[in-house]
Amino acid sequence: MELFPPIDPRQIGLLPVGDGHQLYWEVSGNPSGPAVLFVHGGPGAGTQPAYRRFFDPVFWKIVLVDQRGCGRSLPEASVFANTTAHLVADLDALRDHLDIPRWLLFGGSWGSTLALAYGQAFPERCLGFVLRGVFLFSAAEIEWFMSGMGRFFPEAGRRFATFLPPPERAQPLAAWLARLNDPDPLVHLSAARAWCAYEEACARLLPRPDDGVPVGPGVLSMARLEAHYMAHAGFLAPNQLLDGMGAIGHLPAIIVQGRYDVICPPVTAFDLARVWPGAVLRIVPDAGHAAMEPPLRAALVEAVEQMKAVAIA
C-alpha cells in the first residue's frame, strides 16, 4: 500500500508543559475521527510533514507532536528536565489539551519505547499500537548501537569510533555526551554531525548514495538527546517495559519489523511479541530500519488500515 496524499494540518500550537518547555503539536485529517498519535523516534528526531501520510485523513484525526527539545518545540536541543517520565506526562497533557479520550499509538524505534512507556502508564487511554523497529533500551541494545552496528557497516563504524581522539575511546558514550553538551558550537555541531552520519549510514537495507554525509537541521537535538537518553539507560529500570506488559497485554498491537534492521535488530521485536498476547509480529523480509523504505512504509500503512476495525469497535 502506498502513503496517502500530502495534507496540511488543520490546527497547530505550542503547549507549555513546564520546566520552560513548549511542545509543537499539530492536528490534521478528520476532526471527528478516531485519534492516532505519531510518536517519533530518536530521541530527538522530531516530526515531518510526510508522517501524516501513514494515515487515512478521511478516517483518522492525526496528531503529531515534537517531543521536548526537538523539532519545532522549544527550547531546541535542551536536555534539562528531559526524561522518559517527562515525555510520558507530556503526551497525556497533549491528549487532555486536545480533549481526546483514547488514541491509537504509532511509534518506531525510540517511538516504540515511548509508546510502550505511555501505554503502561495510561492503558485506559490507548486503543492499540502500531510499532516499528522495537527498541526497549536494554544495556545490550545501547552497546549494540555504540559498537555492534559497525559489524555490518564497518566503514561507518570506523568513522564513528575514530572521530573520538584515542584518549577518549575507553568510555565512548561519556566522551560523546561531553562533546555534544560542550558550549562551543564548533565542538558540539561537529560531534552531532558525526553521530547522525553514523546512524544514517546504518538505517537502510540499501544505503543511499549520500549515506554517511552529515545531515541538515536537527542534528544537534537528535545526537544530544540520543546520547543523553543512552547515558541514562532511557530513564527506565532494567527490563521495565517487558515486565510491565501486564498493563497492556490485552490491547491489540501490530509490530512491523524489518528483517535486516541493524539499528534495532529483530530479536527485540520477537521478545516483545512473545509476551504480548494481543500482538501480531510481521517481519518485512526486504527492509532495514528506516520507516520510509518502501516495503516498511507499505506494511505500516496496511497495519494502520487494519487498526480501523479496532478504532470503531
- Catalytic positions, written as ranges: 109, 261, 289
Q: What is the CA radius of gyration of the chain?
A: 18
Write out the H or E segment, with its range, that includes residue 128: strand 126-132
Q: For residue 187, count CB atoms less than 10 angstroms from its CB and return exposed for 0-12, middle for 13-18, buried for 19 or more.
A: middle
Pairing of strands 126-132, 103-108: parallel
Whole-angstrom CA distances from 185 to 41, 76, 179, 215 are 24, 14, 10, 16
- What the block records as the C-alpha cell of 54 is 501513514
Strands 35-39 and 253-258, bridge-based pairing:
unpaired
Given a contact cutoff of 8 angstroms between Cβ atoms, the answer to whether 40 and 47 are in contact is yes
All three cell numbers of 172, joined, read: 565512548
As a whole number of angstroms, the distance between CA 40 and CA 111 comes to 5
Query: Which residues, at least 6 apart from 199, have a Cβ–Cβ distance to it below 8 Å?
Result: 222, 226, 263
The answer for residues whose C-beta is within 8 angstroms of residue 248's C-beta and 6 or more apart is 116, 119, 120, 123, 126, 129, 276, 278
Q: How many CB atoms lie within 10 A of CB 305?
A: 14
